[in-house]
A = this chain, B = another copy of it.
């Protein structure tokens, strides 16, 4: 017996037609893949994706990530027909300023959009993060399964699978047996520039199987029965707990005159070609017109199923509250976004300690307080000091473990943590050496764009890295992070400023923070102050002649230089700048002297300091391999050299 009838075929045509209408009205967009993959999206929503359009943020809903974000027109059409609050009026404003239907899907803007996507590959990686979150949260709250259980679906094209991050995602998901995850891969034979074969001819099935996925194929993208059967198989229980891939063989630009050509990929077909395409797939309606029967079909399948499901989940939630009131209450708090911080008195300071070590101690304290904490490092946990002792490692045998072994996969780390935050309820952190923040650069930007309070930890924060040499010594990375809109940087000078950074980062709700840590020991400063540090910048030492600005390890250096200057009769104030971003926002900045009397000292590019200081003592080239003390002296960042450089700067 057939499951799908002519109404379903009409609905698929409606999706295609709406997508074409959106794109032609906007005068830009990507029709090719929208045309070819419409049936796969339709069958997914009609029969598999469990979500109630009236509760688009319910924690127990299935997630859907359009990793091929350029196919947004199709997604908006689907959300509209499925009953989300995406009215026709918004579809008509596709890609226009202020529309709910922007060029690429944006988290927080459009009901039913579960992630920002467009930068290829990251949708898949974020979906992996969501799948991690589902496993982790359920494991931490036994009894909540009926409330929280769900699947994560992500749709991608060739682009996502060519990006390296996809392999990081695939490998991690297979290893961790994320059987709550389904990727749908549209293979339509075309990329923007060329037929796909010019840049991609992998055996995708074998590639996924080599990473312990199970793979199902749909030979004809337009065969709804075949699609349904593949999804059925992909969501069936699997003794080996593998994630699933559904490969859908399609033809780009299906139904239009440009079918099969990469020319249908990235430009509107135009209303005439679109009109002929609609005729070809038997859709006789006017632009943006959809027959009621189509909406009814989705109302009676997707929306009805979703409503029932959310009802069940809510009742499971109520049961959980009765059975395990304490745990259930804690879970509610987490899902509401509550932070759990230690008391300041619980964290003892040490007279001499690398901020990475203080960070490790703080994290371990935090792990005892925060039921949502999860994270780790890109295989440098022992250097970054992210091991949460006694907290277990997230793995198929212990999804409740708070340590995450991301592997040597920086980009994935950032993206998984973004996905965890999109999913809700958990507080991820993670990082690597500062210099390798480069590897995850666009995912950090994505945290900011999505407004996610992702907490990045970056250690080995200057040439003081020493022996590992210039490939491992950051120069431009700190300034480069400071440039990301919405990111708050922290480079604590000692244990107290570290507490400030952690409190601010974990209290923050609307964007990411990067905490930048020293490899080497730093002294606990006499006048450092947690609350003042949290403001962004503050006066650590008074002085009437000049003001020295510094952050992190250079603050103690600046204090030393100020003592040497005093011997020369020059009184230097020292201003600690734990957060450059917050300094920028301070209504009253902690300066008393004119810009010409201010000197910034930072063992990096430090070029952004020119905003506040006429003189910047910094590095303008790469570092060198050698003992940290030798390297620092070579680049004239030891106190005696700095004294000379400060005096030179004042003469200039």
Check: A483 CB closer than 8 A to any chain B CB.
yes
Check: A407 CB closer than 8 A to any chain B CB.
yes
Q: Is the CB of A626 within 8 A of B95?
A: yes
Check: A484 CB closer than 8 A to any chain B CB.
yes
Check: A627 CB closer than 8 A to any chain B CB.
yes
Check: A395 CB closer than 8 A to any chain B CB.
yes
Mask: chain A, 118-149; 1 = CB below 8 Å from B; 0 = not: 11110000000000000000000000000000
With the chains together, A472 CA to B117 CA distance in Å? 10
Q: Is the CB of B163 within 8 A of A198?
A: no
Check: A299 CB closer than 8 A to any chain B CB.
no
A474 — nearest CB in chain B belongs to which residue?
B445
With the chains together, A26 CA to B468 CA distance in Å? 11
Q: Is the CB of B162 within 8 A of A164?
A: no
A153-183 CB contacts (< 8 Å) to partner B: 158-159, 162-168, 171-172, 174-175
Selecting from A31-39, A209-217, A327-335, A569-577, the interface stretch reads A209-217
Question: What is the CB-to-nearest-CB distance from A169 to chain B, in angstroms, rounded to a whole number?
Answer: 9
B residues less than 8 Å from A166 (CB atoms): 164, 167
Check: A382 CB closer than 8 A to any chain B CB.
yes
A412 — nearest CB in chain B belongs to which residue?
B164
Mask: chain A, 401-419; 1 = CB below 8 Å from B; 0 = not: 0000111110110000000
With the chains together, A166 CA to B171 CA distance in Å? 12
Check: A480 CB closer than 8 A to any chain B CB.
yes
Q: Is the CB of B118 within 8 A of A409?
A: no
- Copies of this chain present in the complex amount to 2
With the chains together, A448 CA to B605 CA distance in Å? 15
Contact pick for A171, options B200, B209, B266, CB 8 Å: B200
A590-643 CB contacts (< 8 Å) to partner B: 605, 607-608, 610-611, 619-622, 624-627, 630-631, 634
Check: A349 CB closer than 8 A to any chain B CB.
no
With the chains together, A151 CA to B390 CA distance in Å? 49
Mask: chain A, 23-63; 1 = CB below 8 Å from B; 0 = not: 00011110000000000000000000000000000000000
Question: What is the CB-to-nearest-CB distance from A556 to chain B, in angstroms, rounded to a whole number?
Answer: 23
Check: A479 CB closer than 8 A to any chain B CB.
yes
Q: Is the CB of A405 within 8 A of B198?
A: yes
A159 — nearest CB in chain B belongs to which residue?
B408
With the chains together, A643 CA to B96 CA distance in Å? 26
Question: What is the CB-to-nearest-CB distance from A386 to chain B, in angstroms, rounded to a whole number?
Answer: 9
Selecting from A189-197, A364-372, A536-544, the interface stretch reads A189-197
Say whether, besides A191-B408, A625-B97, A198 and B164 are in contact (CB < 8 Å): no
Contact pick for A209, options B29, B206, B395, B611, CB 8 Å: B206
Check: A439 CB closer than 8 A to any chain B CB.
yes
Check: A116 CB closer than 8 A to any chain B CB.
yes
B residues less than 8 Å from A168 (CB atoms): 162-164
Check: A300 CB closer than 8 A to any chain B CB.
no
Q: Is the CB of A171 within 8 A of B439?
A: no
Mask: chain A, 422-459; 1 = CB below 8 Å from B; 0 = not: 00000000000001101101100110110000000000
Q: Is the CB of B407 within 8 A of A200?
A: yes
Query: Which residues on A are within 8 Å of B, measured CB to CB?
Result: 26-29, 69, 95-99, 102-104, 106, 116-121, 158-159, 162-168, 171-172, 174-175, 191-194, 198-207, 209-212, 266, 377, 379-383, 393, 395, 405-409, 411-412, 435-436, 438-439, 441-442, 445-446, 448-449, 466-472, 475-476, 479-480, 483-486, 605, 607-608, 610-611, 619-622, 624-627, 630-631, 634
Known: A191-B407, A203-B211. 18 other contacts (CB 8 A): A95-B626, A96-B627, A99-B626, A102-B625, A103-B472, A106-B469, A162-B168, A164-B168, A175-B199, A192-B383, A193-B379, A193-B382, A435-B442, A439-B442, A448-B622, A475-B485, A476-B484, A485-B619
- What would be 13 A-B contacts, judged by CB atoms less than 8 Å apart? A102-B625, A103-B468, A104-B469, A164-B165, A175-B201, A192-B382, A194-B405, A198-B393, A206-B207, A435-B442, A439-B441, A446-B471, A607-B611
The 10 closest A-B pairs by CB, nearest first: A164-B164, A97-B626, A199-B407, A102-B625, A167-B167, A206-B210, A118-B471, A476-B483, A438-B442, A103-B469
